[in-house]
């Protein structure tokens, strides 16, 4: 059994411009995802529901790709993660 302190959490160095850009991009994507999920919950038509489901899937993919970049994951590591889920 693992404890949380064993998780490889990457610290953001806010004095490093590249880290700040990655952080801000991730925050923006997460905010978009939260807004899109809210809109999905209130969608009235099948067409709107499909639109917001597709947008959530697209945002999730963008978030995943950014996290892979933040952690400098190799193609092999990414495939391992994606095939496990």
The pLDDT value given to residue 69 = 94
**What pLDDT was estimated at residue 40?**
97
pTM for the structure as a whole = 0.86
pLDDT digits (tens, 9 = 90+) for 28-52: 999 999 999 999 999 999 999 999 9
Cα angle for residues 27, 30, 36 (degrees, 5° grid): 140
Contact status, residue 78 vs residue 68, Cβ threshold 8 Å: yes
Which pLDDT does position 2 carry in this prediction? 64
For 8-26, what is each residue's pLDDT tens digit? 888 999 999 999 999 999 9
| Each residue's pLDDT tens digit, 60-72 | 999 999 999 999 9
């Amino acid at each position: 059994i693992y404890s949380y302190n064993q998780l490889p959490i990457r610290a953001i160095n806010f004095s490093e411009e590249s880290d700040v850009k990655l952080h801000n991009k991730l925050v923006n994507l997460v905010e978009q995802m939260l807004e899109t999920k809210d809109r999905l919950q209130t969608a009235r038509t099948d067409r709107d529901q499909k639109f917001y489901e597709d947008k959530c899937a697209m945002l999730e993919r963008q978030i995943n790709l950014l996290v892979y970049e933040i952690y400098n994951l190799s193609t092999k590591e990414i495939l391992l993660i994606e095939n496990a889920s």
